[in-house]
Amino acid sequence: MNTKQPATAKSQLAGTDTLDRGNTNAKLESLEPFRSDATEQALRTNQGVKIADNQNTLRAGARGPSLLEDFIMREKITHFDHERIPERIVHARGTGAHGYFQSYEAHSALTKAGFLQDPSKKTPVFVRFSTVQGPRGSGDTVRDVRGFAVKFFTDEGNFDLVGNNMPVFFIQDAVKFPDFVHAVKPEPHNEIPTGGSAHDTFWDFVSLVPESAHMVIWAMSDRAIPKSLRSMQGFGVHTFRMINAEGRSSFVKFHWRPKVGTCSLVWDEAQKLAGKDTDYHRRDLWEAIEMGDYPEWEFGVQVVAEEDEHKFDFDLLDPTKIIPEELVPITPLGKMVLNRNPDNFFAEVEQVAFCPGHIVPGIDFSNDPLLQGRLFSYTDTQISRLGGPNFHELPINRAITPVHNGQRDAMHRTTIDKGRTSYEPNSIDGGWPKETPPGPQDGGFESYPERIDAYKIRQRSDSFGDHFSQARLFYKSMSAHEQEHILAAYSFELGKVEREYIRARQVNEILANIDLDLAARVAKNLGLPAPTAGTVNVPTPSLETSPALSQANLLSGDIKTRKVAVLVANGVDGAIIDALKQALEAEGAHAKVLGPTSAPVTTADGQTLAVDASMEGLPSIAFDAVFVPGGAQSIQALSTDGVALHYLLEAYKHLKAIALNGEARQLLALLKLEADAGLIPDADAGKFADFFAAIAQHRVWARESKAKGIPA
Best CA proximity match to 368, nearest among 406, 413, 315: 315
CB under 8 Å to 405, separation ≥6 — which residues?
A: 43, 44, 45, 46, 51, 76, 424, 433
pLDDT in tens, 34-45: 668 889 999 999
Q: What is the pLDDT of residue 364?
A: 98
Furthest-apart CA pair in the chain: how many Å? Answer: 92
Given 519, 553, 587, which residue is the final one in a domain? 553
As to burial, measured by CB atoms within 10 angstroms (0-12 exposed, 13-18 middle, 19+ buried), residue 20 is exposed
For residue 108, give Cα distances in angstroms to 5, 118, 364.
37, 10, 15
139, 212: one domain: yes
Best CA proximity match to 206, nearest among 409, 509, 466: 509
288, 379: one domain: yes
- CATH classification at residue 496: 1.20.1370.20
DSSP string, 482-493: HHHHHHHHHHHH
Please say whether the beta carbons of 623 and 591 come within 8 A: no
Please say whether the beta carbons of 228 and 338 come within 8 A: no
- CATH classification at residue 658: 3.40.50.880
Given 362, 379, 402, which residue is the final one in a domain? 402
Query: Is 38 domain-assigned?
Result: no
609 vs 16, higher pLDDT: 609
Which of 52-66, 142-156, 634-648 shows the lowest mean pLDDT across its residues? 52-66
- CATH classification at residue 221: 2.40.180.10
pLDDT in tens, 476-516: 999 999 999 999 999 999 999 999 999 999 999 999 999 99
Count of domains observed in the chain = 3
Please say whether the beta carbons of 237 and 168 come within 8 A: yes
Please say whether the beta carbons of 406 and 423 come within 8 A: yes
Query: Is 366 domain-assigned?
Result: yes
Helix (H, G, I), strand (E, B) or coil at 594: strand
Amino acid (1-letter code) at residue 357: G
Q: What is the pLDDT of residue 66?
A: 83
Question: Which residue range(s) make up the domain with 620?
Answer: 563-707
Q: How many Å apart are CA 21 and CA 3, to the nearest integer?
A: 21
Q: How many Å apart are CA 66 and CA 292, to the nearest integer?
A: 50
- Three-class DSSP labels, 19-44: CCHHHHHHHHHHHCCCEECCCCCECE
Query: Is 439 domain-assigned?
Result: no
Angle, nearest 10°, between helix axes 480-495 and 516-526? 40
* Confidence at 87, pLDDT banded by 50, 70, 90: low
pLDDT in tens, 349-404: 999 999 999 999 999 999 999 999 999 989 988 888 888 999 999 999 999 999 99
Tell me which DSSP letter residue 377 carries.
Answer: H
Best CA proximity match to 679, nearest among 696, 700, 698, 663: 700
Amino acid (1-letter code) at residue 678: G
Q: What is the pLDDT of residue 12?
A: 38
Which of 114-118, 155-159, 188-192 shows the lowest mean pLDDT across its residues? 188-192
Quickly count: other Cβ atoms within 10 Å of residue 458's Cβ.
Answer: 6
Query: Is 189 domain-assigned?
Result: yes
Q: What is the pTM of this model?
A: 0.90
DSSP string, 78-98: HHHHTSSPP----S-SEEEEE
Amino acid (1-letter code) at residue 98: H
H-helix segments, 440-508: 469-477, 480-495, 500-505
- Kind plus residue range of the DSSP H or E element containing 565: strand 563-567
Quickly count: other Cβ atoms within 10 Å of residue 685's Cβ.
Answer: 13
Angle at 231 between CA 230 and CA 235, to 5 degrees: 95
Query: Is 437 domain-assigned?
Result: no
Q: What is the pLDDT of residue 154?
A: 97
Angle at 650 between CA 644 and CA 653, to 5 degrees: 145
- For residue 119, pLDDT over 90 is answered with yes
Q: What is the pLDDT of residue 31?
A: 59
Q: How many Å apart are CA 685 and CA 586, to the nearest integer?
A: 14
Q: How many Å apart are CA 35 and CA 418, to the nearest integer?
A: 7
Q: How many Å apart are CA 451 and CA 309, to the nearest integer?
A: 14
221, 297: one domain: yes
pLDDT in tens, 415-442: 999 999 999 999 999 999 999 999 888 8
Best CA proximity match to 164, nearest among 289, 30, 254: 254
Q: Is the dihedral of CA 406, 410, 414, 418 positive or negative?
A: positive
145, 228: one domain: yes
Angle at 677 between CA 676 and CA 679, to 5 degrees: 55
Mean pLDDT, rounded, of the chain: 92
Task: Name the residues annotated as catalytic.
Answer: 91, 164
Best CA proximity match to 564, nearest among 665, 656, 701, 677: 656
- For residue 250, pLDDT over 60 is answered with yes
Angle at 702 between CA 700 and CA 703, to 5 degrees: 70
- For residue 29, pLDDT over 70 is answered with no
For residue 344, give Cα distances in angstroms to 148, 339, 396.
20, 16, 11
For residue 538, give Cα distances in angstroms to 192, 323, 467, 471, 698.
36, 18, 8, 10, 35
Query: Is 67 domain-assigned?
Result: no
Q: What are the φ and ψ backbone dihedral angles of 417, each rounded to 5 degrees?
A: -80, 130
Best CA proximity match to 546, nearest among 699, 330, 705: 330
Please say whether the beta carbons of 545 and 473 come within 8 A: yes
Q: What are the φ and ψ backbone dihedral angles of 391, each rounded to 5 degrees?
A: -60, -20
Q: What is the pLDDT of residue 355?
A: 95
Q: How many Å apart are CA 357 and CA 371, to the nearest integer?
A: 9
531, 610: one domain: no
Burial code of 345-363, b = ≥16 C-beta within 10 A, e = fewer?
A: eeebbbbbbbbbbbbbbbb
- Antiparallel, parallel or unpaired: β 416-417 and 35-36: parallel
Query: Is 447 domain-assigned?
Result: no
Query: Is 221 domain-assigned?
Result: yes
- For residue 651, pLDDT over 50 is answered with yes
Q: How many Å apart are CA 610 and CA 614, to the nearest integer?
A: 11
284, 255: one domain: yes
576, 493: one domain: no
Helix (H, G, I), strand (E, B) or coil at 303: strand
549, 567: one domain: no
617, 471: one domain: no
Given 521, 553, 585, which residue is the final one in a domain? 553
492, 604: one domain: no
pLDDT in tens, 534-573: 999 999 888 999 999 999 999 999 999 999 999 999 999 9
Amino acid (1-letter code) at residue 566: V
Amino acid (1-letter code) at residue 78: T
Helix (H, G, I), strand (E, B) or coil at 256: strand
Tell me which DSSP letter residue 552 carries.
Answer: G
Beta-bridge partner residues of 125: 99, 152
pLDDT in tens, 289-341: 999 999 999 999 999 999 999 999 999 999 999 999 999 999 999 999 999 99
Q: How many Å apart are CA 379 and CA 488, to the nearest integer?
A: 39
Helix (H, G, I), strand (E, B) or coil at 158: strand
Q: What is the pLDDT of residue 457?
A: 86
161, 300: one domain: yes
340 vs 88, higher pLDDT: 340
571, 517: one domain: no
